[in-house]
Amino acid sequence: MDQTNLSMKKKLAQEQLFAAYKPLAMTYDEYFAATGQAHPWTNTVVRHLESLGRDEFRQRARLASANFLEGGITFSVYSDNKGSERIFPFDPIPRVIDAKSWAHIDKGLKQRVEGLNCFLQDVYGAQKILKNNTIPREIILGSPVYRKEMQGIRPRKGNYIYIAGIDLIRDSDGTVRVLEDNVRVPSGVSYVLENRIVMKKAFPRLFERHQVEPVEDYPNRLRRVVCSAGSGRQSSMAVLTPGVFNSAYFEHSFLARRMGCDLVEGRDLVVKRKRVYAITTRGLKPLDAIYRRIDDDFLDPTVFRKDSLLGVPGLVEAYAKGNVTLANAIGNGVADDKAVYPFVPDIIRYYLGEEPILEQVPTYICDRKQDLSYTVENIHRLVVKAVNEAGGYGMLVGPKATRKEHQEFARKVRATPRNYIAQPLVELSACPTWTQRGPAPRRVDLRPFVLRGENTMVLSGGLTRVALVRGSYVVNSSQGGGSKDTWVLSGDGK
């Protein structure tokens, strides 16, 4: 290679990172305004990354990925029966949220989770909201995740939602909207913490120039909220996992480690005289609080699925007696059912007497005749979702699907309308994301984590998931999604 060629290459290598970056049309960009100017709160990040140059950046990106593999920060994939492990792809360009936007989100999330908790207390208690006809009775009581066994059972301190993960998106004009609530067993928080650690290793100087809200205290706070409703004895808490074959096992193990508590499987527990005990090398040890990462269905074979080998016989009885905290409570699914989602603003108004702070996405309920025919007629421009599926499964993105797929899905919706809702396709905001050819806009969402105990706190930021595939709207890890470190800047961010 001659000198000119070499210097050309060198020049290219040092070319400004964002020189060729073009925000997507009709889409809010997390880094740049429509004019092409960086937002005031992303300006310093952009300049710092530019100063590194491409080669340096690429090298650090590689370093970051290696970190995940070496640390065994992986998830198992169900689809191949070898049970192989993968890393959740990490994108090293952080997602940055300014203090003002975050204050709004923080307030809105606390309000929403409070409203949902009131709703659960009511649904499993007096059911005032149903008598009042704010929500159609059959939508609630007919929900497959409504647990009639829990009717009249009040969990300790009336707390149903200890941990919530509320999925947020930004639409084309930058408005934050709630896309989905997760108040059963939301996952992903370990990646928030690990992403931050890896990011700090790979880009230490970047943190010197910004005041980023810390995230490290989450496990400690989680422990406190889970223990808050019971005896308060921190030693008698455990994380309950389905086991090492679960795709989120890393997270279960991570949280147990950071909370300094035992990680148990169902077979490690027994119930005697309506109390829960762990089987230890020195006999039975009482447990007072369980952060469970097992779905309702599998918790207790004497009450729910009889074929469950993951659960603990008698656990529900101990819980009903108030002898153990389960976080989250049993039956929470009725609050994050996608068919209930359209009513959440009404739920907030009903219980809190306030206007909802956060917007959500307009939703058609296929169980309603009018909405059903609208959905079927307009299926090519709607996103249709099965109400009790997660992970991006059971979903049709109309504008991206073929005519044949439209017809097939419409047939399914007509067959069981209660199982579906439809929403207009929201142009999710995009964030610069590292690709083979440099940074390019990729769509993102955000899952903040809310802890509700004596007080409610929201972990600063949360998990930003990014659709790594060009043009994709699906951010789920099972469908080619990755994640980013998420920064909430303190004060003016300077």
List residues binding another protein (CB under 8 A).
Answer: 69-72, 236, 244, 249, 253, 256-257, 262-265, 267-268, 270, 272-273, 275, 277-286
In the complex, the smallest distance separating the C-beta of residue 295 from another protein, rounded to whole angstroms, is 21
Closer CB to another protein, 40 or 83, in the complex: 83
Q: Which two tokens stand for residue 433?
A: 């994301």
In the complex, the smallest distance separating the C-beta of residue 353 from another protein, rounded to whole angstroms, is 44
In the complex, the smallest distance separating the C-beta of residue 236 from another protein, rounded to whole angstroms, is 8
Closer CB to another protein, 286 or 391, in the complex: 286
Pairing, β 74-76 against β 262-264: unpaired
Closer CB to another protein, 150 or 261, in the complex: 261
Cβ 441 vs Cβ 432: under 8 Å: yes
Closer CB to another protein, 70 or 307, in the complex: 70
In the complex, the smallest distance separating the C-beta of residue 240 from another protein, rounded to whole angstroms, is 11
Closer CB to another protein, 177 or 285, in the complex: 285
Closer CB to another protein, 69 or 103, in the complex: 69
Q: Which two tokens stand for residue 329?
A: 């409570």
Closer CB to another protein, 175 or 280, in the complex: 280
In the complex, the smallest distance separating the C-beta of residue 408 from another protein, rounded to whole angstroms, is 41
In the complex, the smallest distance separating the C-beta of residue 40 from another protein, rounded to whole angstroms, is 39
In the complex, the smallest distance separating the C-beta of residue 221 from another protein, rounded to whole angstroms, is 18
Angle at 226 between CA 260 and CA 220, to 5 degrees: 45
